[in-house]
């Protein structure tokens, strides 16, 4: 087995991660549910790749994500930083206090559990009662599913509000001296000032080391960072330490940003701060990973990726669900059980680990380390419908500032299709999906130089806590149906139980506009004589030598994707 350790840094990264782990928990639950669809019972997926087995202080077996999550203090809502499985032991220290000066205490009122979390708590309590010999508990929860869904749609404030997963006590780390209600934690400089690796870094490293040392053969780090503000600086410090300590373990980095997080009514100074932050953050983060995937559209609701979805950009609860679904799809091949030559008879095909994907996308051809993330949610049936869109045509980017019309003959792709439907709601076999994708590539006007395809029969399960974002044209199993009703209410987990998915990582020159934009902004606002952001960058503790190194790095990344210039034969 090749394990993965996941790291989530920042508020929106944990919003994405919360949905991601809910998908895993739902798959685990369905696999053991006698009444569940049989497709979830024989997944041929090894969940131990993402999870660890353990034991609570009471000797109860536990199964928790192999995860380190970092966020601001106070960002966990009603959840304790020690998680829910393990009881925090109160300190009994008898140390003598010698300080005689004034002492000030900062405290906040504890957050109450919402209806969803109360339901989880009651179900767990009832389960524990039923395990007592001779007990007979027939009580039912007083909260209806529809009330819980309405509560989540209107009242999600923290990523823990919709998390249904148990976490290990070493997983959740809150930054000292930085509270969740600090509104100005929004740029690289303040992240640098607020976080000192010497003070807090060793404890974070110890937590990561705990999970890594348990692994028999770790395949890589799945690193998700909210790079829209100060968490970029925290992540960069952490990544630098990871690269130094775990030299040969690849890092697959998702740099995520929430939709609608920035308004258009801002001063010129604020705009300069934002664009410089984006350039600095990207160049710093990319220098410490093997493959970086920018994720997060300025308006997911208006993008082609939301063709069959109803997204409210202002709700991180919505956009993070789509991004998490794509990450789930991309990660499926990392935990596929290896199969022999009879793969077509199984429920999976195309197993590959993080190292294989990183080598495939970043080390072939042009040595490009920036990939585009595309998604089809839901994926169309193999028999057509909805204007007969193929899997290739319906895949749309979740990476911002990409070129939709680029023809790149040197492109490399890694695609995952799972839960695909054939006709009349029947699941397509692995061989049917592979044949359909091969046929689509043969008919396409342009095709990549190479595409690795992974296929699984298991669709994306939709947990109760998933947001109501599906359009009226999405059916119970995620099939696309006709007769869409105008102005109808979006569908949620009560109407849509699973969804066929397709996701793709592309090493392509389509990402060139993003790189050139970051390079141009760094030069214009940070490096050129009289640059508007020069003083700002000095306040972030960046000297000119460091900025020039970032410029050279961005220039090299962009140059690798530009087509070769034609030279003249004349003198």
Res 425: pLDDT: 73
To the nearest whole percent, how much of the chain has pLDDT over 90?
66
- Of the listed ranges 217-231, 334-348, 503-517, the least confidently predicted one is 334-348
For residue 343, pLDDT beyond 80: no
pLDDT at 91 over 50: no
Mean local confidence (pLDDT), 381-387:
66
pLDDT at 483 over 70: no
Query: Which range, 252-256, 364-368, 475-479, is most confident?
Result: 252-256
What per-residue confidence (pLDDT) applies to 215? 96
* pLDDT tens column, 513-556: 999 999 999 999 999 999 999 999 999 999 999 999 999 999 99
Count up the domains in the chain and report the number: 2
Whether 522 is covered by a domain: the verdict is yes
- Backbone dihedral region for residue 4 (phi beyond 0: left; psi -120 to 50: alpha; all else: beta): beta
Asked whether residue 541 is domain-assigned, the answer is yes
Same domain? For 507 and 519 the reply is: no
Pairwise pLDDT comparison (61 vs 423), residue with the higher score: 61
Q: State the pLDDT at residue 185.
A: 84
Assess if residue 521 is contained within a domain. yes
Query: Cα(110)–Cα(112) distance, rounded to whole angstroms?
Result: 6
Q: Read off the tokens for 436.
A: 């359909």
**What backbone torsions phi and psi does residue 212 show, to the nearest 5 degrees?**
-65, -45
As a whole number of angstroms, the distance between CA 242 and CA 5 comes to: 12
Ordered DSSP codes for 202-251: HHHHHHHHHHHHH-SSEEEEEEEEETTSTHHHHHHHHHHHHHHH-TTS-E
Question: Looking at residues 497-514, what average pLDDT do you find?
Answer: 96
pLDDT exceeds cutoff 50 at 136 = no
Q: 395 and 520: one domain?
A: no
pLDDT of residue 484: 55
pLDDT tier, 104 (very low <50, low <70, confident <90, very high otherwise): low
Query: In the predicted model, is pLDDT for residue 473 greater than 60?
Result: yes
Please check whether residues 354 and 399 belong to one and the same domain.
Answer: yes
| Helix ranges (DSSP H) in 97-144 | 115-130
Distances (CA, A) of 144 to 20, 130, 317: 24, 22, 21
- Does 504 fall in a domain? yes
Q: Return the pLDDT at 180.
A: 59
pLDDT at 59: 82
Same-domain status, 518 and 496: no
Give the range with max mean pLDDT: 262-276, 312-326, 361-375: 312-326
Question: Does 283 score more than 90 pLDDT?
Answer: yes
Token code pair at residue 15 = 């919003």
Residue 300 has pLDDT above 70, yes or no: yes
Residue 408 has pLDDT above 70, yes or no: yes
| Per-residue confidence (pLDDT) for residue 567, from 0 to 100 | 39
Q: How far apart are the first and last CA of the chain?
A: 61
Domain boundary pick from 477, 493, 512: 512
- The answer as to whether 314 is a domain residue is yes
Q: Do 224 and 203 belong together in one domain?
A: yes
Quick one: 552 and 463 in the same domain?
A: no
Range of the domain at 550: 513-561
Between 560 and 254, the more confident residue is 254
pLDDT at 196 over 70: yes
- What is the average pLDDT across 302-318? 95
Same-domain pairing of 175 and 201: yes
Residue 156 inside a domain? The answer is: yes
Mean pLDDT along residues 204-211: 96
Q: Are residues 414 and 534 in the same domain?
A: no
* 359 and 500 both lie in a single domain: yes
Q: Which residue do the tokens 């998908």 mark?
A: 23
What band does 311 get if pLDDT is binned at 50, 70 and 90? very high
Per-residue pLDDT at 90: 41
| CATH number for the domain harbouring residue 68 | 3.40.50.1440
pLDDT of 387 reads 46
Mean pLDDT computed over 40-59: 90
Tokens 């319906």 sit on residue: 394
Residue 330 lies in a domain: yes
What digits encode the pLDDT tens for the residues 416-444? Answer: 999 999 876 789 999 999 999 999 898 88
Is the residue at 178 inside a domain? yes
Q: Based on the domain organization, do 398 and 492 belong to the same domain?
A: yes
One domain for residues 529 and 381: no
- In the predicted model, what is the mean pLDDT of the chain? 87
Between 186 and 109, the more confident residue is: 186
Q: Is the pLDDT confidence value at 570 over 70? A: no
Centroid of chain to Cα 362: 20
For residue 244, pLDDT over 50 is answered with yes
Question: With bands split at pLDDT 50, 70 and 90, how would you rate the model's confidence at 141?
Answer: low
Q: The pTM is what?
A: 0.91
One domain, residues 169 and 250:
yes
CA proximity to 178, closest of 233, 238, 111, 114: 233
Neighbours of 390 (CB within 10 A): 18
The dihedral formed by the CA atoms of 502, 506, 510 and 516, expressed in degrees to the nearest 10: 130
Cα–Cα distance for residue pair 143/418, rounded to 1 Å: 33
Owner of token pair 């799945």: 222
Of 45-59, 82-96, 102-116, the poorest mean pLDDT is in 82-96
């Amino acid at each position: 087995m090749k394990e993965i350790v996941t790291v989530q840094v920042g508020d929106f990264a944990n919003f994405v991660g919360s949905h991601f782990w809910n998908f895993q928990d739902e798959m685990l639950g369905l696999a053991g549910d006698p009444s569940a669809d049989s497709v979830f019972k024989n997944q041929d997926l090894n969940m131990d790749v993402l999870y660890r087995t353990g034991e609570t202080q009471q000797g109860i077996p536990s199964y928790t994500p192999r995860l380190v999550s970092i966020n601001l203090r106070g960002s966990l809502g009603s959840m304790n930083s020690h998680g829910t499985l393990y009881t925090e032991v109160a300190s009994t220290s008898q140390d003598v206090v010698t300080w005689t000066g004034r002492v000030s205490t900062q405290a906040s009122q504890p957050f109450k559990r919402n209806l969803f979390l109360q339901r989880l708590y009651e179900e767990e309590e009832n389960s524990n009662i039923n395990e007592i010999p001779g007990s007979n508990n027939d009580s039912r929860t007083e909260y209806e599913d529809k009330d819980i869904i309405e509560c989540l749609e209107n009242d999600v404030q923290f990523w823990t509000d919709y998390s249904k997963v148990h976490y290990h006590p070493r997983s959740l780390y809150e930054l000292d001296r930085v509270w969740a209600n600090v509104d100005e934690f929004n740029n690289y400089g303040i992240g640098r000032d607020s976080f000192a690796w010497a003070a807090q870094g060793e404890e974070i490293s110890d937590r990561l080391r705990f999970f890594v040392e348990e692994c028999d053969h770790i395949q890589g780090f799945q690193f998700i960072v909210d790079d829209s503000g100060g968490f970029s600086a925290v992540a960069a410090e952490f990544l630098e330490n990871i690269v130094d300590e775990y030299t040969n373990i690849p890092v697959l980095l998702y740099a995520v940003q929430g939709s609608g997080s920035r308004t258009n009514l801002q001063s010129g100074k604020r705009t300069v701060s934002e664009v410089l932050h984006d350039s600095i953050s990207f160049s710093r983060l990319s220098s410490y990973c093997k493959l970086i995937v920018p994720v997060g559209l300025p308006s997911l609701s208006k993008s082609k990726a939301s063709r069959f979805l109803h997204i409210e950009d202002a709700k991180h609860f919505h956009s993070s669900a789509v991004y998490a679904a794509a990450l789930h799809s991309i990660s499926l091949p990392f935990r596929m059980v290896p199969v022999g030559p009879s793969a077509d008879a199984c429920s999976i095909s195309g197993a590959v680990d993080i190292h294989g994907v990183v080598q495939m996308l970043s080390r072939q051809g042009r040595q490009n380390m920036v990939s585009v993330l595309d998604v089809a949610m839901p994926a169309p049936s193999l028999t057509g419908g909805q204007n007969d869109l193929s899997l290739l045509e319906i895949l749309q980017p979740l990476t911002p500032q990409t070129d939709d019309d680029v023809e790149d003959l040197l492109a490399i792709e890694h695609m995952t299709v799972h839960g695909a439907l054939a006709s009349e709601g029947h699941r397509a076999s692995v061989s049917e999906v592979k044949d359909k994708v091969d046929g689509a590539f043969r008919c396409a006007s342009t095709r990549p130089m190479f595409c690795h395809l992974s296929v699984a029969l298991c669709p994306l399960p939709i947990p109760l806590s998933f947001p109501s974002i599906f359009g009226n044209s999405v059916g119970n199993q995620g099939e696309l149906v006709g007769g869409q009703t105008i102005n109808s209410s979006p569908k949620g987990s009560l109407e849509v139980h699973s969804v066929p998915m397709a996701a793709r990582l592309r090493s392509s020159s389509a990402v060139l506009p993003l790189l050139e934009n970051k390079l141009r902004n760094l030069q214009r606002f940070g490096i050129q004589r009289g640059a508007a952001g020069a003083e700002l960058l000095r306040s972030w503790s960046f000297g000119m030598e460091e900025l020039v190194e970032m410029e050279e790095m961005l220039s090299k990344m962009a140059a690798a994707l530009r087509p070769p210039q034609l030279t003249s034969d004349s003198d």
